[in-house]
Structure 1
Amino acid sequence: MSDTQRIAQLPTSHSALLYAVSLFCAPEWQHSERRRYALSEMRLERGADRTIELIDLLRQSLRQDQASTLWGDVVEQLLRLGNSLDALELHTRTYSATPQQTLCVLLAFDVMPALGRTWGFWCQDEALLPQMPEDDLWFLPHQDPANPDRLILPVEKVLSWWLEKFDGPLDRLWGEYDDERRRTLDNWKSGRTTPALSKIMEWFSDDYQFSHKSSDEAHLSTTQLRSLLLWARAIEQAYKDLVGYLTPGCSPNDTDPIRNKALQLIELFRWSHEATLASHDTSVERERTKFSAAFPRWAKSSVFSAIAANENGDLPAPETIGQFLSLMLMSMPDDNVLPDLFENLQARSPKMWMPNQERLGEREAVQATIENVLVTWGGDDPARQFYVASGLEKLRKLPRIDEFEADLTYLCALDALSSGNFYEACQHAEKALELCLTRSIGPLKLDIAKLNFSLAVAQDAFKRASAERSFRILCKSVQPRDAARWKLGEGPIDYSMRLAAADHAAWFWDNIVRPYEGVEIEAPLQENSEIIRAYAGLLWSVASEDEVRGFIKQFRRKLKHKLRDVRGDTFFTISSKMVADIAPRMRQMPTYPGIPKEPYELANLMAATHLKLASLLPRDVLEARDYLKQTVLMLAADRNDVDMVKALVDRLVHDRMRDGINAQDALGRTALHSAAKVGADRCFEILLAAGANPTLQTYTGKTPALFAAEFGRTTIFEMRLKCTAYEIGRDELKRAYELAQESAENFKAKRKDYAIQGYKIAGRIGFQRIAALALDALGE
């Protein structure tokens, strides 16, 4: 079905930015790299780096200073428009609309009015280029007063205006006779040829200083003129591309808005700009009210609905705009014809659409059936398996079901899950993801991405390669609370993905795995599973080595399984956390007469039994990691559990484990970092003596010594200085001094900040001592 299905996709922030920047300067990327970026198929870090590179390329081509206010405004608007495009792509369904119809609807009902309003805001105080004829809107294609049958395009406008000010014959602009350049300029002015970027950069480089008729006027410098030509060239090229895409065969100079649909879109830009200038007010509320009142009711409820405030002064959310765009695309009168927006462009009178009622009814019938199947699947009827199967069969026979292939595939994935067939569910979910990556299917895309991401992390160990495609989609519509919990933007993407994976694994087993009547699904281990209960009994007894060996033998197959509801831990990581958490509390409990064992005795038994387990576990189990790639050695050092650290180090060094004592978590931290953070002096000493590497860095470039300086761990910092196996470098010493000195000078504020994060730092004297040690080591 998908091989022949024609479903359009709205542009995204990546595809739009790449196209926009290419109008000014061509990125030196391979074709495959352009494609992967435009389709958001790059790794998240790589895509973010490429976005920064594109924006900087644009800045360089326009000769803008990084710190200028104007450039800051440009970047802000670029990012805002990009976020808006991503949100609309996630909330708009295109049905069977052609790519041309889809782009036309997006431009007409959102982008062009929004851009006109933004340009109006920029021009409210003063014209950005007052010397230009027609001031603010000089760059819009418009009728030639001398010939109403042709359009004047932006490059012609700029060149005609500038050449009028030039002193001398046009064939000697560059000092000597050059007829080729004169003919090329004539072609540019006629609109027949769009200037090549290389020609503008060469002919209007800073090496040339042009003479003007009047020396009294303020004239543009060559740099300003080149920048202006680049803007005009970019707008003209974009206009020609739009005309060629929407109305193939139509000349860009065609003045008939019925044939040249782009002119209707330009009129929306102009109208929005005019209304923005006319409604200027110091009060935001009054300005929004005046702006909305500037349009007739039909325009306010259609083409300007995305930027016109409601009666409460609120602007519509992206979800609402997406629903409106979906309705417009669902109601398209014809599959191949672009509908008109205006009956009369000059009078700005509307052209009313007459939707195809038959197709509209067919689509509504499919959507209603999909909703019924989803409700049935989520219900409690014992016979829902039969009803879901019946609903799916009905769906497959409905007209227009090809437009809803992703919906059908998603429902099949849910049905397979409830039937206990995880492999089939994964196949359906993967197919649904492939479908939604090439088309706009509305909010269902988020549901499909969430299901795929959950399937990738719910049962097996976290693997970024299989989870990132879905996570890229989820990142385009993250709630603020989720972004904060996943620490998006605060650390490596891999770290954020692992935090999100834990949430989605829990959501998956609690909300998506809904077995049909009589179906049993084996879930990952739970906190109340047999292995946990058996180990709890072992902890409370005086377990011998043989009993611990018997426990390991009995549950050997489950020792490496992931646990459910405990954020992706294995048995060893969760039991280590459990013992480390319970034992200290029990040691502080009061004693009561008559009880068989005192609480502190039970705590000691628990710790001893767990140490015995650590000394006997298989090698592969001993290296188990939790959902953040933390090993039990890191966890033990973080809790200052000297006995466990010593036991694990003995095993790790003796058995030459794969990662050993230098294993790093998702943030790049090692067991040495854990010990330095909490001030576990003895743990740090054991690790260092066993050969742990103190030069390994976190993702921010911090070594254990820098952790010691950051948290004021004087003894640990001294041990690091004395370590001759790995000498500390001058750069590391300088940074340690800066960290310690800053904390000493702003001690109270630092202590408060760290307390909010749940960390306890050393006293001011500790930081002063570390700063002095660092200075002494530097010889200063």
Structure 2
Amino acid sequence: MATFPTFESVILHIAKAFGVNSNMSSKSKSKFRNADMSMANLNETWATLLAGIADVLKLDEHAKSDLISNIFVDHNMHKSIELGVFTSKASERKVVWQYLARIAVPLLARHSVFWHMDSKFDGGMPGGSFWYLPSFDSPCEPTQLHLPIPQVLNWLIDLIQDSNANIAKGLERDLRIYEGTNVVLRNLYNWRKAKSTPEISSINNTFPDEVNIQFQGCFEPTDEFSKFEQALTFVKKKGLPPSVLQHEIAINEDDLKRIFIGDCSLDEQYDFVVKVMLRYQAPCARTIRLRLLTARAVQEGYEQLVKFLTPSVDKLCIDLDKNKTLQLIQLYMDLYNRTLEAHLEKRHLGETAENKYFTERLPPFLRYDLLRLVSYDHDQHASVVSDRLNSIFSRSGEENDLNKILPSSEDDMKQIMQVIIDEGEHSNNYLIQLEALIDKLVQNKAPFKQLKNIADFELVSGTINYTYPNPNVRTMILDRLKELESTPLQSLKRITFELEEKLLVKKFDSKTENEVCYLLNEAKNNEEYEFSKSRILQLEAFHFIAQNKLPEAEKNLNLAIEECKKYSFGNLRGNLARDAFSLAIANQKLIPNNHEKYFRDMFNWGGFKGSHKDPSKINIYDASRSLHEYFWEDLYKCYPSYPPLFSSSRAEFAVFARDITLCVKNQQSIPLVLKKHKSLKNKQLRYPQADSAIILLMKMGYGMLAKLSDYDGVIPADIEAEIKGALTVVLNTVVEVVQEWPEIVNISDFKQQTPLMLAAHQKDYEMVEVLLKAKADPNLKDFTGRTALHSAAASRCLESAQLLLEYGCDEKITMQEGTTALHTATRMGELPIVKLLVKKSPDLLLVKDSNGITPQELAKSISEDIGLYEYLKGYLLSENRTIVSRKRYLELNNYFQEKQLSSY
């Protein structure tokens, strides 16, 4: 049982390695890992973890911003791949191995180059070495593996140039808490021998800022004589010949040999001195801690990976065939060096040139297979990687096989290349044959005979998702698949195709229900059912919908979503959430707290379609409206023997609207119609927006008005007059309904928006007055805490604001952000309403919003900051609001200053 790793799970591992998520409960970690918590909590947890990691690494704001930006770029790439991956029966080890080799390590290696250069991450460490990674003692004939913590301690002890015992005594004396216990000495011994990975608290306690370490092995030249001569004396005294020193500073051995005998230019001497000073500088306690914490994080991750991927292998094993994790490290180092080379060679030509240089120098087995994600031969990186992973995961019998990703011999290279060639040829042959077969079926050239001539189940199954002029071709394909199936998996695949055909493609007939029942039973008895359970449950939900069993259908979809937490099924989880959400609100109002889980899964798992391709631009309220339509227009259809269901809100309002329309047309008495529909006077309609009858009428009327303004000057005069006439009738009808049903004026919609707020938002002060006279409560708030007075300020309607205050609206009510109506009027640059509110309540001048900003400070910021003004301008235009010049905000600021001065 295995799912593709979520990006959240990766962040959790990183955070754990740095000790950031120690306060999270196991339940919270599980929910975050599976993106199963509320969207607000998910975003908050993301922010907390990333901020924590940045703090541990002591990143400044620029570096922190860059890190977070790169993480979210990788997150989007990861998600694009994840939504195309089907893990099938692959083991968890196999899935994680392929994920690390093809996605995580390549992305990390590529980014690391630029992080290290920007942050000078390696300053003072041996040049050209990966001190934060496990490394061999010799690149040629290694005999020992050095873990990161020992490498950092060796660097530190070399700079201190003293025995472990003396170093430990000095630290214990400075720290006092350890004095006489030998704790530091034991820790240094255990850490250097890799007997244990230090706790974060031990590192912080051993090397706090106040510790005073004496460095005797550092290079600190004086002004007494030549710094070049001092540097030469220093490296020779440390026993560093050119063959060794070349690995410590970025100068090659031949050049060092010349430098050692003085055969070099002044520039070379200067460069030598600078590099020796940098390498052998005395680090501060903060740098020591950061190096150890980084090394510790990598070392812990390495040890966990060894235990997970190869549980019987020792963590210090240097055999790459046995210790698979070392292959990932080798891949990282190779990619890092290739990326660095490309950057140094082509940086003057830009990123595109760097990427081209990098790609062209990759060996074929990397360029066309393992590193397709970071090679730049194509644009569809995500889909190419997903397809390759699906091909690997679909193979049975390889659950415990962690294939070699890097060749260590010529035979390895030949084997890897042969696999790539064989798979490429098979794929090309399959596509060629498939295209030829589909072409013949589309042309209806003896389709039955064409299918009979094919004995390959997979080839025939590849034709099922195409549209054919002859509707009988799909039936022929399904029949042929049944003849060819030879395994339970092939049988289940054919059954799924048949269920889709009967439930989603063909019209229902008298036999469909029984045929679907038979196929569902056949699927559930198939031994491969467990691995396709979520899709079968979804199809069974469609079957329940066709039987008018809507609660059972929603239950099935929820079970299917849970199954998607066991195996990866591409974007199926998002589609299941979409269908479940549409069912949940088919005949009831949206309840955000109850229905957010569906919206969240749609957002995270690819459940948005068509105009909703960018889920960041839609909220749960907008989604609920479109999904209500989706259910009744697309998803719902019933078997012939069942009475069709209809949207109850549509049904009850449709009759009401028809009766009202006839009443107005025939100039009959509206009270008679209202008496007939009295059940609507104190209820919300049963659909997502949960409008009352008058809110729906008002939205229809104001909607006509909006369309008129959109087509100003384009609509013929007679049609425009007709629309305006209809608008007048609708709004006059609202007035009569309000007068007959005064109790309806305070019934809100799903956003807790009242008719009064809606009228104020539309600058319809006449309707505002009608509603207030009918006892509309001006102090009711919507889900953001906004009142009708906020709406009047936002729409710049002075008349509405005056009426609301006259009828007792509390001008001191604040929204969730702590903003009063005065803040809103200020943001809109509406001076008349500002003056009205200040005159009514001068104390509003002192009210600060949740960011600690008063109305005057807001006006001052907008008037002085062109960037802020342009941002506000763009936002208001996107909301179809009118805008004012920056000069108006300056006038507002001056007005506020005058008022403050007059109060002294």
Distance 1:256 1:118 in 2: 28
Q: Is the 1:107–1:265 contact (alpha carbons within 8 Å) kept by the matching residues of 2?
A: yes
Q: Is the 2:760–2:800 contact (alpha carbons within 8 Å) kept by the matching residues of 1?
A: yes
Q: Is the 2:860–2:890 contact (alpha carbons within 8 Å) kept by the matching residues of 1?
A: yes
Change (3 A) 1:400 1:693: same
Distance 1:340 1:601 in 2: 76
User: Tell me, what secondary structure is at the counterpart of 1:615?
Assistant: helix
Change (3 A) 1:706 1:194: same
Q: Which residues in structure 2 correspond to 1:457-476 (within 5 Å)?
A: 457-476=585-604
Which amino acid in the other structure matches residue 99 of structure 2?
L
- Residue 423, structure 1, aligned to residue 551, structure 2: yes
Change (3 A) 1:712 1:113: closer
Q: Is the 1:13–1:86 contact (alpha carbons within 8 Å) kept by the matching residues of 2?
A: yes
Distance 2:740 2:197 in 1: 76
Identity across the alignment (%): 20
> What is the match of residue 47 of structure 2?
52
> What is the match of residue 620 of structure 2?
497
Distance 2:758 2:533 in 1: 47
> What is the match of residue 307 of structure 1?
374
- What do the CA deviations read for 1:176-197 (whole angstroms, capped 9, x no partner)? 5774322321211111211111
Instruction: Give the superposition deviation at 1:215.
Output: 3.5
> What is the match of residue 217 of structure 2?
213
Change (3 A) 1:63 1:762: closer
Instruction: Give the superposition deviation at 1:672.
Output: 0.9
Change (3 A) 1:165 1:766: closer
- What do the CA deviations read for 1:258-310 (whole angstroms, capped 9, x no partner)? 32221222222223223323434235444333333333333333321222222
Find 2:360's aligned residue among 268, 293, 299: 293
User: Tell me, what secondary structure is at the counterpart of 1:525?
Assistant: helix
> What is the match of residue 173 of structure 1?
167
Range with greater deviation from structure 2 (83-92 or 321-330): 83-92
Instruction: Give the superposition deviation at 1:461.
Output: 0.9
Instruction: Give the superposition deviation at 1:26.
Output: 4.0
Find 2:748's aligned residue among 625, 649, 661: 625
Which amino acid in the other structure matches residue 213 of structure 1?
G
Which amino acid in the other structure matches residue 660 of structure 2?
Y
Of structures 1 and 2, the larger Rg is shown by 2
Distance 1:687 1:471 in 2: 36
Q: Which residues in structure 2 correspond to 1:585-734 (within 5 Å)?
A: 606-617=730-741, 619=743, 621-652=744-775, 660-723=777-840, 729-731=846-848
Instruction: Give the superposition deviation at 1:204.
Output: 1.2
Q: Is the 2:582–2:624 contact (alpha carbons within 8 Å) kept by the matching residues of 1?
A: yes
Change (3 A) 1:436 1:53: same
Distance 1:486 1:443 in 2: 14
Which amino acid in the other structure matches residue 13 of structure 2?
Y
Distance 2:52 2:730 in 1: 62
Q: Is the 2:520–2:536 contact (alpha carbons within 8 Å) kept by the matching residues of 1?
A: yes
Which amino acid in the other structure matches residue 444 of structure 1?
L
Find 2:657's aligned residue among 517, 525, 532: 532
- What do the CA deviations read for 1:143-186 (whole angstroms, capped 9, x no partner)? 33499454211111111122122133221215257743223212
Distance 1:72 1:686 in 2: 48
Instruction: Give the superposition deviation at 1:604.
Output: 6.0
> What is the match of residue 855 of structure 2?
736
- Residue 64, structure 1, aligned to residue 59, structure 2: yes
> What is the match of residue 576 of structure 2?
448
Find 1:405's aligned residue among 522, 533, 543: 533
Instruction: Give the superposition deviation at 1:482.
Output: 5.8
Distance 1:601 1:61 in 2: 67
Distance 2:593 2:869 in 1: 44
> What is the match of residue 33 of structure 2?
38
Distance 1:742 1:341 in 2: 57
TM-score by length of 1: 0.85
- Residue 129, structure 1, aligned to residue 122, structure 2: yes
Q: Is the 1:562–1:570 contact (alpha carbons within 8 Å) kept by the matching residues of 2?
A: no
Q: Is the 2:798–2:833 contact (alpha carbons within 8 Å) kept by the matching residues of 1?
A: yes
- Residue 329, structure 1, aligned to residue 393, structure 2: yes
> What is the match of residue 881 of structure 2?
759
Change (3 A) 1:149 1:471: farther
User: Tell me, what secondary structure is at the counterpart of 2:81?
Assistant: helix
What is the RMSD of the two structures over their aligned residues, measured on CA atoms? 3.9
Q: Is the 1:540–1:602 contact (alpha carbons within 8 Å) kept by the matching residues of 2?
A: no
Q: Which residues in structure 2 correspond to 1:134-283 (within 5 Å)?
A: 135-145=128-138, 148-174=142-168, 175=170, 176=173, 179-210=182-213, 211-216=215-220, 217=277, 218-280=281-343, 281=346, 282-283=349-350
Change (3 A) 1:345 1:143: farther
- What do the CA deviations read for 1:730-774 (whole angstroms, capped 9, x no partner)? 547973234445666779967787456422246888656644442
Q: Number of residue pairs matched?
A: 747
> What is the match of residue 657 of structure 1?
none
Instruction: Give the superposition deviation at 1:428.
Output: 0.5
Q: Is the 1:123–1:136 contact (alpha carbons within 8 Å) kept by the matching residues of 2?
A: no
> What is the match of residue 503 of structure 2?
377
Distance 2:722 2:294 in 1: 81
- What do the CA deviations read for 1:504-563 (whole angstroms, capped 9, x no partner)? 22223222123333441222434992222222223345453642432433x649963245
Range with greater deviation from structure 2 (475-484 or 233-242): 475-484
Distance 1:639 1:388 in 2: 51
Change (3 A) 1:486 1:341: closer
Instruction: Give the superposition deviation at 1:365.
Output: 4.7
Which amino acid in the other structure matches residue 572 of structure 1?
I
Instruction: Give the superposition deviation at 1:20.
Output: 0.6
> What is the match of residue 4 of structure 1?
none
Q: Is the 1:127–1:135 contact (alpha carbons within 8 Å) kept by the matching residues of 2?
A: no
User: Tell me, what secondary structure is at the counterpart of 1:15?
Assistant: helix
Q: Which residues in structure 2 correspond to 1:542-553 (within 5 Å)?
A: 542-544=667-669, 546-553=671-678
- What do the CA deviations read for 1:651-693 (whole angstroms, capped 9, x no partner)? 446xxxxxx4323334432211111122332322222233222
Range with greater deviation from structure 2 (542-551 or 257-266): 542-551
- What do the CA deviations read for 1:72-109 (whole angstroms, capped 9, x no partner)? 33223333333334443333221222222211121122
Instruction: Give the superposition deviation at 1:38.
Output: 2.6
Q: Is the 1:250–1:259 contact (alpha carbons within 8 Å) kept by the matching residues of 2?
A: yes
Distance 1:373 1:599 in 2: 48
User: Tell me, what secondary structure is at the counterpart of 2:375?
Assistant: coil
> What is the match of residue 428 of structure 2?
none
Change (3 A) 1:32 1:646: same
Which amino acid in the other structure matches residue 109 of structure 1?
R
Q: Is the 1:420–1:515 contact (alpha carbons within 8 Å) kept by the matching residues of 2?
A: yes
Contiguous gaps of at least 5 residues in structure 1: 1-6, 489-494, 654-659
Distance 2:98 2:190 in 1: 33
Distance 1:765 1:133 in 2: 59
Distance 1:734 1:126 in 2: 35
Distance 2:875 2:309 in 1: 56
- Residue 18, structure 1, aligned to residue 18, structure 2: no
Q: Is the 2:697–2:730 contact (alpha carbons within 8 Å) kept by the matching residues of 1?
A: no
Change (3 A) 1:391 1:714: same
Instruction: Give the superposition deviation at 1:232.
Output: 0.6
User: Tell me, what secondary structure is at the counterpart of 1:168?
Assistant: coil
Change (3 A) 1:294 1:394: farther
Change (3 A) 1:581 1:415: closer
Distance 1:41 1:688 in 2: 45
Q: Is the 1:737–1:771 contact (alpha carbons within 8 Å) kept by the matching residues of 2?
A: yes
Distance 2:717 2:303 in 1: 86
Contiguous gaps of at least 5 residues in structure 2: 174-179, 221-276, 424-456, 459-484
